[in-house]
Amino acid sequence: MRNIDEHNITDAVIARLCDSQDTRHKEVMTSLIRHLHGFVRDVRLTEREWEQSIRFLTATGQKCDDKRQEFILLSDVLGVSMLTVAMNQSWPEGATEATVFGPFHVEDAPRCDSGADIAHGAPGKPLDVDIEVVDLQGQPVVGAEVDTWQADEDGLYDVQRPELGETRRARGVFLTDAEGKVRFSSVLPTSYPVPTDGPVGELLLATGRHPWRPSHIHFRIRAPGFATLITHLFQEGDSYLDSDVVFGVRSSLIANFGHHGEDNQARHTLRHRFVLAHAPAPRSSTSE
């Protein structure tokens, strides 16, 4: 096709997908091209803005390494991560809601026995966590893997502290007991800003947005026959609950991290019952 202009170029690009063998890939690419061209037309993108966009995406890629994923952060602050979670991880009424995974999970967190103190010197006020995992009928889920990770009082995860090397702290993996329960001690987390020393930080600044996430603890709960739950518990009363930079807060995930005892002796306590949904039936190959 010749004589391409701003009116016929979208159909011309989509027509080039005609030999695409993978029907889902073709569907996704067709929509992507339509929306991308629609966006360029909508804002009447200038050539200077096109160059700036290319520079921004290049810098985003250059900021990525094996510890830092600036593209995921971009997806997070644009609400794309949470939109994808909301569409793909919506469980039946009564099951605990999911939220974003975030970049600070590690696969080699220490395996711990119930009752363990996972703080290992992380700064913060003491916190006792009491977790119960049940199914939609309220029956305990025995032997579920409860993987938890969190920031410390300085708003930092262990992996953000180069001085710790490979030392892991304020994270651990537990198995629920015969009553579906797990207990551990840790430190009270705090609200923290997502990393702002890269292009995503510049984008937040340029759009007048703050970079803060409300105080929370992450959980990934897995058990055979159940849908894997990836979620957080957010600290009630945090001032960023209504403006989380990655749009991850759900009211049902806000919990009381209340304290008892006098000021410097005070211990905080978090109790929560997680409800797992049964795993969706696998799609049969004949229905595709």
Total residues belonging to the chain: 288
Give 114 or 196: the residue with its C-beta nearer to ligand BEZ: 196
Rg (CA), the chain: 23
Complete DSSP assignment for 122-156: -SS-EEEEEEEEEETTS-B-TT-EEEEEE--TTS-
Q: Which partner in Fe ion, ligand BEZ, none is near 246 (CB below 5 to 8 A by kind)?
A: ligand BEZ
State whether residue 270 is helix, strand or coil.
strand
* Pair 81, 246: CB distance under 8 Å: yes
Q: Which partner in Fe ion, ligand BEZ, none is near 194 (CB below 5 to 8 A by kind)?
A: ligand BEZ
Give 181 or 213: the residue with its C-beta nearer to Fe ion: 213
Q: At what angle do helices 47-62 and 70-77 cross, to 10 degrees?
A: 120
* Pair 122, 152: CB distance under 8 Å: yes
Give 102 or 198: the residue with its C-beta nearer to ligand BEZ: 102
Instruction: Check residue 214 for interaction with Fe ion (CB under 5 A).
Output: no
CA atoms of 59 and 162, how far apart (whole Å): 23
What letter represents residue 221's amino acid?
A: I
Residue nearest to ligand BEZ (CB): 102
CB of 124 to ligand BEZ, least distance (A): 16
CB of 186 to ligand BEZ, least distance (A): 15
Task: Give the pairing of strands 216-222 and 145-150.
Answer: antiparallel
CA atoms of 77 and 79, how far apart (whole Å): 5
What residues make contact with ligand BEZ under the rule CB under 6 A?
A: 73, 76, 100, 102-104, 194, 213, 246
CB of 195 to Fe ion, least distance (A): 12
CB of 48 to ligand BEZ, least distance (A): 30
Give 100 or 134: the residue with its C-beta nearer to Fe ion: 100
The interface region with Fe ion, picked from 71-79, 90-98, 100-108, 138-146 by CB under 5 A, is: 100-108
CA atoms of 35 and 211, how far apart (whole Å): 28
Give 102 or 180: the residue with its C-beta nearer to Fe ion: 102
- How far lies 13's CA from each of 21, 31, 33, 53, 88, in Å? 16, 11, 8, 21, 30
CB of 59 to Fe ion, least distance (A): 24
Task: Give the pairing of strands 171-175 and 259-260.
Answer: unpaired
Q: Which partner in Fe ion, ligand BEZ, none is near 56 (CB below 5 to 8 A by kind)?
A: none
CB of 152 to ligand BEZ, least distance (A): 13
Q: Which of 73, 100, 102, 244 binds Fe ion (CB under 5 A)?
A: 102
CB of 244 to ligand BEZ, least distance (A): 9
- Site residues for Fe ion per CB under 5 A: 102
